Amino acid sequence: MNLKRNKTDIVVIVVSLLLIIAVSVTSIIISNNNRSNNVNIYYENRIVYSMKLNVNELWTMEKKKYPALQADMKIETKNGKFRVAEETSKYNICSKVGWEDRPGFPVVCLPNHVMVVIEGYAPSDTDWSA
C-alpha cells in the first residue's frame, strides 16, 4: 500500500480543517448571542418581575403582596448568575440549588408557587402546578 501524499490530499486536508474551524467559531458566536440576559420570576404561572443578570440586585417578594408565599422570599442576581437567596419551606430545596446561569433551567419553589428561570424557556411546556 502506498501512503504517499500528493498536493490534492494536502489541499483537501487544509480545506477540511478550515471548514471545521469556521463551523466551530460560528457555532460559538451564535450560542453566545442567543444567551439571554433576563431572569424572569413567575408567581402562580405569571411573570411578576424580571431582573438583569449583568446587574447585581437583591429583590424581595413580600408575603403581603404574594399571599401564597410562606414568608418573604429574596432572589439575587450577581456576576451573571441568579439564586434564591432566602425562602421559607419545609426543606428549603429552592435556596439549596444555589447559583444558576443556565438558560431554561427552572428553579422551582413549589410550596411558594414561585419559579425563577433565565429567558429561553416557556413555563407552559412543563406542568409544575400538579
pLDDT at 100 over 90: yes
Residue 51, beta-bridge partner list: 39
Closest residue by Cα to residue 130 from 113, 117, 118, 116: 113
pLDDT at 74 over 60: yes
Q: How far is Cα 72 from Cα 120, in angstroms, rounded to an integer?
A: 27
Closest residue by Cα to residue 69 from 118, 115, 130, 121: 115
pTM of the model: 0.66
Question: Helices in 34-121 by DSSP H: which ranges?
Answer: 93-96
Looking at the 3D structure of the chain, how many domains does it have?
Answer: 2
Position 25 scores a pLDDT of 80
Residue 16, beta-bridge partner list: none
Which residues constitute the domain of residue 112? 38-125
**62 and 25 in one domain?**
no
Phi, psi dihedral angles at 38 (to 5 degrees)? -110, 140
Which has more confidence, 12 or 120? 12
Does residue 47 lie within any of the structural domains?
yes
77 pLDDT band, cuts 50/70/90, is very high
Q: What is the CATH number for 90?
A: 2.60.320.10
Does residue 100 lie within any of the structural domains?
yes
pLDDT at 78 over 70: yes
Q: How far is Cα 118 from Cα 37, in angstroms, rounded to an integer?
A: 7
**114 and 61 in one domain?**
yes
Position 121 scores a pLDDT of 43
